[in-house]
Chains A and B, each alone.
Chain A
């Protein structure tokens, strides 16, 4: 691995000052499951690595704060998957967190890191989009709240500004009863990146939110407010037309080694219908 200096700020202000001072020569370290691979393969060679794990304000925490839940920047997937707060309000996020990597990866990988890495295949992204998550960014100008739908640009690129870091992910507690499901397609069971990753949420007012990833440069979310998708008795042709419009933005890369575009697009439709059916069933059962 290339040499670098290691900084272990104790406060958020120190971390932001380091990022400001070093600009693009600094990289943020949280779980390290993406960063350390890129430090080793040489695709990143920062002068300084800024470790967020000793910053008190960012210590692992999942807390309810009025009408929302705040997940701090160093909270790992294992804790999200096991959290009773997440299970109660955002069960599809718990499902997604539970399939990221392996146990070893989930014990290190953070939700904030998954979002910042901005992989099109990020498993937590569709669930976070369905639950209307907001990224809380801290930077030299103070705190900025960025809706997740405006955060992803393309693989590895986000709308975070220079010297900003993600301090937390906020999720509003759904005001209406909701059923939701996360599903994915991988080449093998167990530890693999998704060829398609998708989340669907249906609420009691008939709104369906469907988000999908790994089929284009960034995760996409679409909302159906017509009530047709949420209605188990709606005619199949009507549902198909809406789903086709929802999936119209999918543009899988022909260069990916994981699956061909044709396969991904076919599986996107299969998984979309499955997740929708499961979401409706869960809404009915109150799960």
Chain B
């Protein structure tokens, strides 16, 4: 039978932890991550899928969580910026962002990190144009693009040593 209800029970795995939730059909995945799970690393910004501040991994692929209804994520595995590094420690990419000064105001950083992590998972040694293309959906209004690219390259190169 077709379900048709205004609130929907869903089960999602967020940063390795299974969560059973009751969500409103019109709430986005972004709303639920921030307001119900209190994972406020993922940022709300343009709400039209242009800026990438709300980027998360959904079943291994990056998505703009503002353009995903929470109910659509039922059964999925989600990784947010909070899940990139081991508990209480920074991932290599997070450390590289600090080392290269790739963070100014920091608002876009969680989305940049998640997108860059996905890029490196698919292509361990991206060239600069591949990094630019891979991160084209993540805007940085402080214009740290050079430093962000350097940070991604540093991790990619570090992989070689």
Interface residues of A (CB under 8 A from B): 1-10, 14, 18, 29, 32-33, 36-37, 39-40, 48-49, 51, 53, 78, 101-105, 107-108, 189-191
Shortest CB–CB separation between residue A78 and chain B, in angstroms? 7
Q: Is B84 an interface residue (CB 8 A)?
A: no
List 4 additional contacts besides A8-B2, A29-B69, A191-B137; criterion CB under 8 Å: A18-B2, A101-B137, A102-B136, A104-B62
Least CB distance from B43 to A in Å reads: 14
A5 touching B118, Cβ below 8 Å: no
**A and B contact pairs by CB, cutoff 8 A, 5 listed:** A1-B26, A102-B137, A108-B64, A190-B137, A191-B137
Complex CA distance for A276 and B101, rounded to whole angstroms: 45
Q: In angstroms, how far is the closest chain A Cβ from the Cβ of B128? A: 13
* B2 and A1 within 8 A (CB): no
Measured CA separation A102–B115 after assembly (Å): 11
Asked if A5 and B6 make an inter-chain contact with CB atoms under 8 angstroms apart, the answer reads yes
A78 touches B61 (CB 8 A): yes
B6 touches A3 (CB 8 A): yes
Within 8 A of A (CB), among B64-117: 64, 66-69, 71-72, 115
Cβ–Cβ contact A14 & B2, under 8 A: yes
Q: Are A6 and B52 in contact (CB under 8 A)?
A: no
Residues of B within 8 A of A78 (CB): 61
With contacts A32-B69, A33-B67, A101-B137 taken as known, whether A7 is within 8 angstroms of B2 at the C-beta atoms is yes
Q: Mark B27-63, 1 if CB is under 8 A from A, else 0.
A: 1100000000000000000011110100100100111
Residue total for B at the interface (Cβ-Cβ under 8 A) = 37
Which 3 pairs between the two chains have the least Cβ-Cβ distance? A102-B137, A190-B136, A6-B25
Task: Decide yes or no whether B8 CB sits under 8 A from chain A.
Answer: yes
Tell me the bound Cα distance from A12 to B115 in angstroms. 34
* Inter-chain contact B47/A40, CB cutoff 8 Å: yes
Which residue on chain B has the smallest CB distance to residue A5?
Answer: B4
Q: How distant is B38 from chain A, measured CB to nearest CB, in Å? A: 20
Q: What's the minimum C-beta distance from B64 to chain A, rounded to whole angstroms?
A: 5
| Cβ contacts under 8 Å, A1 to chain B | 26-28
Taking CB atoms, residues of chain B closer than 8 Å to A18 are 2, 4
Q: Once bound together, how far apart are the Cα atoms of A149 and B86, in whole Å?
A: 53
Q: How far is the CA of A10 from the CA of B25 in the complex (A)?
A: 18
Contacts of B136 in A (CB 8 A): 102-103, 189-191
Q: Which residues of B contact A39 (CB under 8 A)?
A: 26
Hey, which chain A residues are within 8 Å of B3, CB to CB? 6-8
Choose among A10, A40, A49, A104 the residue that contacts B2 (Cβ–Cβ < 8 A). Answer: A10
A5 CA to B69 CA, complexed, in Å:
12
> How far apart sit A5 and B133, CA to CA, in the bound complex (Å)?
37
Cross-chain contact A7 with B4 (CB below 8 angstroms): yes
Interface centre among A39, A53, A78, A105 (most CB of B within 10 A): A105
With A102-B52, A107-B62 as known contacts, state yes or no: A190 contacts B26, CB within 8 Å: no
Cβ of A122 to closest chain B Cβ, rounded Å? 16
Does any Cβ of A come within 8 Å of B24's Cβ? yes
Tell me whether B147 is interfacial, beta carbon within 8 Å: no
Q: Which of chain B's residues have a CB closer than 8 A to the CB of A2?
A: 26
